[in-house]
Structure 1
Amino acid sequence: MKVGQYLFNKLYKANVKYAFGIPGDFALPLYASLSQSPIIPIVTTHEPSAGFAADAYARLNGLGLAVVTYGAGALNIINPIAQAYAEKSPVIVVSGAPEIKNRNPDLLLHHRVKTFETQIEIFQRITNISVLLQDPHLITEQIDEVIDTVLRTKRPGYIEIPRDLVYKEIPKFRCKHSRRPEKKLEVFSEAMEEIVSRINASRKPVVIAGVEIERFGLGGKFIKLVEKYNFPVATSIIGKAVFPEHHKNFIGTYMGAVGNPAARKLVEESDCLLILGEMITDTNTGLFTSHIKRENLIHASSEHISISHHNFDEIDITDLINYLLNSKKIKKFSFKNSFAQKKAPPVKNGKLTIKAIFRELSSLPDGKYSFITDVGDCLFGCVDLNADIILNPGYYASMGFGVPAAIGAFLALPSRKPISLVGDGGFQMTGVEISTLVKSDIPALIIVVNNGAFSSLEAMDRKRDYFTVHSWDYVKLAESLGAEGIRVNTLKDFKKALELGTQKNKAFLIEAIIERSDISETLERIGNAVHRKFSRKK
């Protein structure tokens, strides 16, 4: 079996059905091998879009793949892969590369930066594992280890393949895989006993459900756990929809002082706060405006468990959820949710607002749509979006995610129509991926929230000329790329456009025009928090 054949067969067996990227001369053998595999290449207009698409695909599918060329291609995908690392999205980047025999340090080969090792050294900083294939006897072990590591840690991996190796035969002799370290039973028992004791001693336990619950496929078990003990549950902005928001135990989105006041009260008054699978970031804590007592905290992630000031590196969130679900030592609590999410009253017809947009989107039925938000008020406004699948770059927060993510989301879950919300600024970065939506027959609905400005920055600062976004004719642009579009500026027209767009079986764009000063309540609170924290020169 040849190297390329082995690589793509292994990835296909790991449930990768699509590869995102752009061919280049160092990747020509790779793409030829890819075309002979069951994996379908999706060629985007730009490598950053390939990275965002692979990221979204990975979040919903469990593993994503990007295939790029050396230098100009691979280094162009750095930002999306950095986001995938930060937000724990399992993407594998495969890059073609110069032949080892041609790596003369005095040879100025095109696409080279500083040295031939510069590229892999960069990827080592933003992946959990990066390998250069060169020893035929190690190739299968290296490929297997990358796939295993990415699946296990839910963070990116990188494989660099010299182009003359793609069609080389793999020797029959193969190295054995190294075994994972076994968990220490005594450490596990000590941690679980302390957690059980703290939960049973508490009167007001609360759980914050994080994005790792979804990443590690723990959603079903987590719901059973919550119902077994009757825990109240909040989520963060990046963890939106990891727990059903219509559930009787859901108390809202927690973002410190800038989030849901009811959720904040319950979370910060808890005497036993379980943060499960959540990253404690500035975004999730409302710019660190949260007031959580460390002595009341149990924090479980994929990397460790901490109980107050005690850290256990040998065990993780999966261990904890499995243990709690099967335990018979913990009492059931009598929590009754007086803060249950109530259906918001309808918004009166008139000028379109960001609040009205999310209100209308929340009225769409579950099970039919994958929602994607870009950065800006599309992100902050989604705090008020009730849906069962929401993808957002809520921690790393790279603009440009919205449109290309619709590609990956649909290919991962073709039974759901992707609905992407993106501001005019974010759209101008990657909006031409509508071309890829059309080419790939993806019936995404793209909602461009056009307020003519970087509104989130203005909320944190003030109106300035350099926050102005130059106006495009987004509808004509969509039409020029083969999609359809409509422009609206009233709620009545938005409702009609939304009904039309959700019924379309091809890419459709709604340009939703709102006032420059119109922002969500969450963004308004964030802006106020920033102004209080930093003194601004006027």
Structure 2
Amino acid sequence: MNKNRPNISEHLIQRLYEYGARHVFGVPGDYILNFYARLEKSPLQVINTCDEQGAGFAADAYARMHGLGVVCVTYNVGGLKLLNPAAGAFAERSPLLVIAGAPGWQERQKFPLLHHKVKEYDDQLSMFRRITVASTDLNDPSTAYQEIDRVISEIITQKRPGYIELPRDMLDIIPDAEIPPIRQKKSDFDVTRHHDTIEAIIAAINEAKQPVIMAGGGIIQYNLVHALEIFAEKTNIPIVCSILGKSAIDERNSHYLGVYAGIVGDDDIRRYVESSDCLILLGVLLTDVDMGANTAIMNPDALITLSDDCCHIGRQSYPGSGLMFLPEIIQRKLTVHETSGCPTPVRDKMAAFTPGDAPVTTESLVLALNSVIDEKTVLITEVGDAVMMSLDITIKRPGGFINPAYYSS
């Protein structure tokens, strides 16, 4: 056995750092205390919260901003509180890693009833398997390195949560196995393989009379903000965002109009979007919330849908991850479109905030918030009214608006 290899806990911490995590949220408990001690001595900063569910939501928000969020808790009484945040992260495509301590593998064999156990020792693992893209129990040292890498890589690639269960007697074990190279992000994009699809997309866009770009959360998740900016600049096509996609672009951008969500939002923007003969959906989740309680009116024949898991031109489906085509599309020859009937952006309709002694109203609060937001501000809203009242606020940085409006927890 090579003593220069890291033990299981060291490898896990090293991989978290290599994949971009700098903070870990959570609540310590006895089955995870020794791992917490190692975290405290690592380059990662531990953020303790008052409750495990709160730690999960904080890590989810962190994931949406930084590409990987990590939450660490104890067995069952801590872990089961994270089912709700993990479910929300799965529904809204957030790369969240849940690390949960567990009884040691040897003590499980010896003692049938250890505290925090529900029915079977693997109950927690079984529940998380339903709402994660990858999960594992690090009970086999020979595969521990590979399992850690597999789970984190799938989280990063699929932009959805994963789960690692860490038995407390496995922390210091040094696997008798080679350390695998860090996994690179997978991509199914190949220009030659998708040439005809890309040409069909470009032809539909170039021939359109009133195209509109609708940007969703996938733009932020896949680091396509700059590609979106170039696309709009080259084509002069106006941009709207879905509710989950709000702040997919700096909302001072000259092409940005506002949020479109059916009857929710500005009427002029709604009419313009719904009369478009080419509505280009980029990373949009077509949820009932994003569609204004299903009041959105979009002609299926006029849609180009490019998401992380599909590609559609009208009613025709094409293979591949359509959203990944955007960097290639902006390299091609694109028509510059006229926008003579384009509505006034919402930001230009907002009144200036004037401080005074009048009672605070929803409208005055929105104007006040709009007046203080700058390029460093991230606005995090509660679900419900707080989301809806904030849609017209001008967010001055990509990814600067965070809301769990679809899962709504």
TM score, norm. by length of structure 2: 0.91
Q: Secondary structure at the match of 2:374?
A: coil
Q: Is the 8 A contact 2:153 2:183 kept in 1?
A: no
Rounded to whole Å, the distance in 1 between the matches of 2:72 and 2:116 is 16
Shift, 1:315, TM fit: 2.4
Q: Does 1:221 align with 2:227?
A: yes
Instruction: After TM superposition, list the pairs within 5 Å mapping 1:37-436 onto structure 2.
Output: 37-104=42-109, 107-174=112-179, 182-183=188-189, 187-318=193-324, 320-328=325-333, 330-336=334-340, 337-341=342-346, 342-346=348-352, 349=356, 350-388=358-396, 389-398=400-409
The alpha-carbon deviation at position 112 of structure 1 amounts to: 1.8
Rounded to whole Å, the distance in 2 between the matches of 1:33 and 1:353 is 49
Other structure's SS at 2:252 match? coil
Which residue identity is paired with 1:362? N
Distance in 2 between residues matched to 1:365 and 1:106, nearest whole Å? 56
Gaps of 5+ in 1: 399-538
Shift of the 289–108 alpha-carbon distance from structure 1 to 2, 3 Å rule, reads same
User: Mean alpha-carbon deviation: is it higher for 99-108 or for 140-149?
Assistant: 99-108
Q: Counterpart of 2:72 in 1: which secondary structure? A: strand
Decide whether aligned partners of structure 1 residues 363 and 43 sit closer, same or farther in structure 2, where only a CA change above 3 A counts: same
Structure 2 vs 1, CA of residues 38 and 347 (structure 1 numbering), >3 Å: closer, same or farther? closer
**C-alpha displacement at 1:55, in angstroms?**
1.0
Once the two structures are TM-superposed, the CA of residue 103 in structure 1 deviates from its matched residue by 3.2
Kindly provide the amino acid, as one letter, of the partner of residue 207 in structure 2.
A
For residues 444-502 of structure 1, what are the alpha-carbon distances to aligned partners after superposition, in whole Å with 9 as ceiling and x for unaligned?
xxxxxxxxxxxxxxxxxxxxxxxxxxxxxxxxxxxxxxxxxxxxxxxxxxxxxxxxxxx
| Mapped contact 1:137–1:173 kept (Cα < 8 A) | no
Which letter does structure 2 place at the counterpart of 1:78? L
Mapped to 2, the partners of 1:183 and 1:221 lie a distance apart of: 16
Distance 1:239 1:182, change over 3 A: closer
Deviation at 1:76, TM superposition (A): 0.7
Shift of residue 313, structure 1, vs aligned partner: 4.2
Structure 2 counterpart of 1:255, one-letter code = A
C-alpha separation in 2, matches of 1:107 and 1:308: 58
CA contact (8 A) 2:49 2:55 kept: yes
RMSD: 2.1
2: CA distance, partners of 1:133 / 1:316: 35
> Alpha carbons of 1:181 and 1:260: their partners in 2 closer, same or farther (altered >3 Å)?
closer
* Match in the other structure for 1:496: none
Unpaired runs of 5+ residues, structure 2, are: 1-5
User: Which SS does the other structure have where 2:213 is aligned?
Assistant: strand
Q: Give the C-alpha shift of residue 105 in structure 1.
A: 10
Superposed, which structure 2 residues align to 1:469-484 within 5 Å?
A: none
Distance 1:368 1:105, change over 3 A: same
1:7-52 superposed Cα distances (whole Å, 9 cap, x missing partner): 0011112221111001111112211221221111111100011011
**SS at the partner of 1:265?**
helix
SS at match of 2:264: coil
Distance 1:188 1:45 in 2: 49
* Contact in 1 for aligned 2:305/2:322 (Cα 8 Å): no
In 2, Cα distance between the equivalents of 1:306 and 1:380? Answer: 29
Partner of 1:21: 26
Q: Which residue of 2 aligns with 1:439?
A: none
Query: Which string of whole-angstrom CA distances, capped at 9 and with x for unpartnered residues, describes residues 419-453 of structure 1?
Result: xxxxxxxxxxxxxxxxxxxxxxxxxxxxxxxxxxx
1:165 Cα deviation (Å)?
Answer: 0.5
Using the alignment, how far apart are the partners of 1:391 and 1:102 within structure 2? 43
1:281-319 deviation per Cα after TM superposition (whole angstroms, max 9, x unaligned)? 11110111111111111111112212222223432312x
**Contact kept in structure 1, 2:215 and 2:281, CA below 8 Å:** yes
Query: Residues 344, 175 of structure 1: CA spacing in aligned structure 2 closer, same or farther, 3 A cutoff?
Result: closer
Identity %: 34
**Structure 1 counterpart of 2:269, which letter?**
A
| SS across alignment from 1:103 | helix
Q: By how many angstroms is 1:182 displaced?
A: 4.7
C-alpha deviation, 1:347, in angstroms: 6.1
Paired with 1:182 and 1:56, the residues of 2 have a C-alpha distance of 28
In structure 2, relative to structure 1, the CA distance for the partners of 1:140 and 1:231 (3 Å cut) is same
> Secondary structure at 2:125's aligned position in 1?
helix
Flag the 1:239–1:20 CA change in 2: closer, same or farther, 3 A.
same
Q: Deviations over 1:154-207 (max 9, x none)?
A: 111111111111111122435688995755666512321221121122111111
One-letter amino acid of the counterpart of residue 261, structure 1? D
Shift of residue 334 of structure 1?
Answer: 1.6
Q: Is the 8 A contact 1:184 1:314 kept in 2?
A: no
SS in 2 for 1:130: strand
Counterparts of 1:4 and 1:327, CA distance in 2: 48
Distance (Å, rounded) in 1 between the aligned partners of 2:143 and 2:273: 50
Q: Which stretch of structure 1 is more off in the superposition, 109-118 or 167-176?
A: 167-176
In structure 1, what is the Cα distance between the partners aligned to 2:69 and 2:34? 20
**Post-superposition CA distance 1:358-391 (Å, at most 9, x none):** 1111112421321111112111101121122111
Structure 2: which amino acid aligns with 1:267?
V
1:30 counterpart = 2:35: yes
SS in structure 2 of the partner of residue 146 of structure 1: helix
Q: How many aligned positions are there?
A: 396
State the distance in 1 between where 2:188 and 2:249 align: 31
Q: Does 348-357 or 173-182 show the bigger shift?
A: 173-182
